[in-house]
Amino acid sequence: MKVRPGVELASLSDVGCQRENNEDRYSYWEPANDLEFPIKGRLAIVADGMGGYEGGQEASRIAVEAIEEAYANGGVGNPRSWLLEGFQAAHHRIQEYADKYPDLHGMGTTSTAMALIGHQLFYAHVGDSRLYMVRGSTISRLTHDHSYVSRLVENGVLRAEEAESHPQRHILTAALGAGASVTPDCPAEPVSLESGDVLVLCTDGLWGLLTESEIQTAVAGKSAAEICDHLVDTAKRRGGPDNITMQVVRIN
């Protein structure tokens, strides 16, 4: 995939240290037509499948392909509406696949997708994969985990710092393919980016083993590829119990 000037991109997915297969999936897309690029911009997606060996792999694959297809083929609308169309299409396709193959009942996936139009960031999200923005010495988590522990924080049962290491922090309350309907988080207005901002898309195999401060520190002075290598290596040194997938985009 050709990456047009304006960003530095790197992506990395690793099976980790304890799994036999990788149920994560990612993609990066830009339109081939230069005339379409100012309208569609860039699309990056990560997904973390669940439901066993084949179920998880198929769910994450279906989600990434459906979101990318809906976004790329979107006509009337805007980046936000194309992302939402993609998430709904992914949700229904995963359910149709599970209906066709009953052994895969319960398959599903998280997904976080971001679209960059110039310096405007649009994103949509279901599950507990995350999107971070690093600006200078600060890091902001733009996504909100759809998880049991996140609900405990919202209800005042847990403090946010306790949630990051809670043993049940990976129990999801929403996923593509799960439940009759899905409502992705998708802000109405884009986030304005600045030159030098770094966006980090990642699955819980990464953020579950690193603090936000460690992610922010790793960004400083490194290329996008070096950031991926450093963070994935760190997660693996700490045991790497899950698949680890991330994409890094630096705004130039």
CATH number of the domain at 20, please.
3.60.40.10
Q: For the whole model, what pTM was predicted?
A: 0.93
Report the first-to-last Cα separation within the chain, whole angstroms.
Answer: 19
| Token output for 221 | 């002075």
User: What range does the domain containing 85 cover?
Assistant: 7-251
> Does 1 map to a domain?
no
**Number of structural domains the chain divides into:** 1
* Residue 171, phi then psi, degrees to nearest 5: -80, 120
> Does 2 map to a domain?
no
Share of the chain above pLDDT 70, in %: 91
> Does 141 map to a domain?
yes
> Does 71 map to a domain?
yes
pLDDT, position 153: 58
| Token output for 147 | 């998880």
> Does 197 map to a domain?
yes
Give the C-alpha separation, 235 to 208, whole Å: 8
β-pair partners for 172? 147
pLDDT, position 69: 98
> Does 89 map to a domain?
yes
pLDDT, position 166: 61
pLDDT tens profile 38-71? 999 999 999 999 987 689 999 999 999 999 999 9
Whether residue 210 is predicted with pLDDT greater than 90 in this model: the reply is yes
Query: Does residue 170 or residue 180 have the better pLDDT?
Result: 180
β-pair partners for 138? 135
> Does 237 map to a domain?
yes
Whether residue 150 is predicted with pLDDT greater than 80 in this model: the reply is no
pLDDT, position 148: 73
> Does 34 map to a domain?
yes
pLDDT tens profile 179-204? 999 999 999 999 999 999 999 999 99
Average pLDDT, the chain: 93
DSSP string, the chain: ----TTEEEEEEEE--SS-SS--EEEEEE--SSTTTHHHH-EEEEEEEEESHHHHHHHHHHHHHHHHHHHHHH--SS-HHHHHHHHHHHHHHHHHHHHHHSGGGTT-EEEEEEEEEETTEEEEEEESS-EEEEEETTEEEE-S---BHHHHHHHTTSS-HHHHTT-TTTT-BS--BTSSS----B--SSPEEP-TT-EEEEE-HHHHTTS-HHHHHHHHTT--HHHHHHHHHHHHHHTT--S-EEEEEEEE-
Give the C-alpha separation, 214 to 139, whole Å: 10
